[in-house]
Amino acid sequence: MRKPVALRHVVATSIILAALGAIGAVKAGLVGGDFMYALEQVQSPLAKTSPVLPDPHGPRLARRVFLVIIDGLRLDKSYELPFLDELRRRGVDTEAQSHYPSWSRPNYVSILTGVPPVASGVRTNHHSTPVELDSLMDRAKAAGLEVACATDYDVLPKLFLRKRAPDAHDAYRAGQVAIEPDVDEDGEPIPLDIDAMDHPLSEAAIHAPDANYISPFDDARYAPWPGGFTEVGTAIAQGDADLVVMLVGSVDAAGHAHGGASAEYRIAAELADHALGRALARIDLNQDAIIVTADHGHTNRGGHGGIEPEVLSVPLILAGAGVKPGASADDAHLIDLAPTVATLLGIPAPGHGLGRTLSEVLALDPAVRDARRAADDTRLASTRSVVARSEAAAASEAKARRAWRISLVAGGAVLAMIGAALLVRRRVMRLDGRVLLVSVPAFFVVYYAMIGAAGQGFSPSLVPAQGHIAVVMAQYGIAAMVVQLLASMWALRREVSLTERLAKANGIAWMGLLFAMIPAGLAWALMPAPYIVLPSAHMLVLIPAVEVAVACAAIDVALTLVVEVIVFAARARQVDVSSKR
């Protein structure tokens, strides 16, 4: 007969496996938590090139243009609103497509620069540095026009802050204490964190009053209090700014809180419509133009970010001077708005844009229309080639990284197999088919089923509230952990030999870690950050999901082993007591 396995060796194996799990958990958890930030690019490749400005200063079609963004208003819920319907009746009733990922910051940038998230580097609402792309505000100011903004959500002006020309400001500051850390120890410029201002005790907030930045608007009014939007909207409308950007945030808030199909969302849309109607009541549409759109829609349960039709389809309403009443846009996207607004004002389109002038909805002379089209073509040829070049460079870099990362993952898997074979041979670990079949899949089935069913499928829109996707996944992971722990205990309940039981628990731990780590390793190898090329909507959920799965599975493994060691110690004591009797 073979010599029995020493208990302390089995316990030692448990401890080593639990420690490996803990390291994996921390690493994967950090990667999963950082994923949304890893999607961001501080500077887009386009921002490193000069704006392409072939557009002629055309005739000005509208004296003033009001560009209104109703945050989160989806197309089908934008009808039967008195003010919007009146604009539709007098002008153009059409729709536009938002851009994936369909979050707010990325699409404020789509609308105001004509650059979609894939090329702007602004991919999520975690983007917190000013966007260095040429914008409608930059073009209008360069043409000597006045630009204003009225909003109840302060992010929009902050997202387009510009560095003040250094001369006057630096002269003023000469000899004073450094009030703004422009560069780090290595002399690298530190990008401004616009969200840091929200924490009144932060360095950014303390330095803010005399920081070297200038608003993108000549007049920007932010009024977050009840009735504030109507108040500042009316004041700005009564002024004489040539380009007015308006943003209403309340409909999006209602969508997150109650869902896009709710009565509350509908009421929020009615109230926003009413507020706009009041603010813009005196606008003379014979001279001025109003454009109303949204940055994205909402799912019925609330949430956006993905590619669902109700999230991507948004209203596009144009009325007034320069608009061709009754016309319809041909496959309009949010990136087409910047060149369209520029055409109405007779100024060049923002020079990094990837959209086109929606000339089919404008009352343009054929000669002007052709000149705009030619200018669009020149700009697009240049901007598209910049984007294509950077994507090709990123793809070849990723390819190079992929090769050695895949070999690393394969090598790790082989090492794990060899390790397992050694442990099985020394009988400190047992791979029991029945036990493994009950306990190992339990975690993964419960976890992925919950992401698919409890949220809104494998879509970035899965979180109805404005939460962090990884945090929601971790909640599903905890539920899956509980199920897996119970399944393991049930599968092991009939083991009489304590050593056997712990050896089989080691088997569960090893198999669980392997199954969690291989997909995470593959995601890391096949789709490595930085994400110049944007992952698809499914991958945007699956990549952090597999990382969070490793974190949870590893904690789970550690817990399983801890429970088993406790059971083991308790039973050992029992045996000890009864043998002495």
Cβ proximity to Zn ion, 40 vs 252, nearer residue: 252
Cβ proximity to Zn ion, 297 vs 353, nearer residue: 297
**Is 295 an interacting residue with respect to Zn ion (CB under 5 A)?**
no
Cβ proximity to Zn ion, 148 vs 251, nearer residue: 251
331 phi and psi angles, rounded to 5 deg = 55, 55
**What three-state secondary structure class fits 273?**
helix
Block residue for tokens 């540095």: 129
Cβ proximity to Zn ion, 311 vs 423, nearer residue: 311
Cβ proximity to Zn ion, 242 vs 252, nearer residue: 252
CB of 310 to Zn ion, least distance (A): 13
**Is 252 an interacting residue with respect to Zn ion (CB under 5 A)?**
yes
Q: Which residues contact 545 (CB under 8 A, 6 or more apart)?
A: 32, 447, 448, 451, 458, 473
Cβ proximity to Zn ion, 102 vs 120, nearer residue: 102
CB of 117 to Zn ion, least distance (A): 14
**Is 308 an interacting residue with respect to Zn ion (CB under 5 A)?**
no
CB of 75 to Zn ion, least distance (A): 16
Axis-axis angle for helices 433-453, 469-491 (nearest 10):
150
Query: Whose CB is nearest to Zn ion?
Result: 252
Inter-CA distances, 27 with 110, 441, 443, 547, Å: 34, 22, 19, 9
- What's the rounded Cα separation, in Å, for the pair 232 and 273? 15
The number of residues that bind Zn ion (CB under 5 A) is 1
Cβ proximity to Zn ion, 128 vs 560, nearer residue: 128
CB of 175 to Zn ion, least distance (A): 46
**Is 40 an interacting residue with respect to Zn ion (CB under 5 A)?**
no
**Interacting stretch for Zn ion, rule CB under 5 A, among 248-256, 327-335, 363-371, 441-449?**
248-256
The tokens for 173 are: 């500051």
**Interacting stretch for Zn ion, rule CB under 5 A, among 2-10, 188-196, 244-252, 494-502?**
244-252
**Is 310 an interacting residue with respect to Zn ion (CB under 5 A)?**
no
Q: What is the 3-state secondary structure (H, E, C) of 469-537?
A: HHHHHHHHHHHHHHHHHHHHHHHCCCCCCHHHHHHHHHHHHHHHHHHHHHHHHHHHHHCCCCCCCCCCH
Cβ proximity to Zn ion, 251 vs 442, nearer residue: 251
Stretch (H or E) spanning 73: none
CB of 464 to Zn ion, least distance (A): 10
Burial track 485-522 (b if 16+ CB lie within 10 A, e otherwise):
bebbeebbeebeebbbbbbbbbbbbbbbbbbbbbbbbe
**Is 547 an interacting residue with respect to Zn ion (CB under 5 A)?**
no
- What's the rounded Cα separation, in Å, for the pair 21 and 14? 10
**Interacting stretch for Zn ion, rule CB under 5 A, among 54-62, 116-124, 246-254, 512-520?**
246-254
**Interacting stretch for Zn ion, rule CB under 5 A, among 60-68, 179-187, 240-248, 250-258?**
250-258
- Greatest Cα pair distance, the chain, in angstroms, is 107
CB of 72 to Zn ion, least distance (A): 5
Residues lying near Zn ion in the complex (CB under 5 A) are found at 252
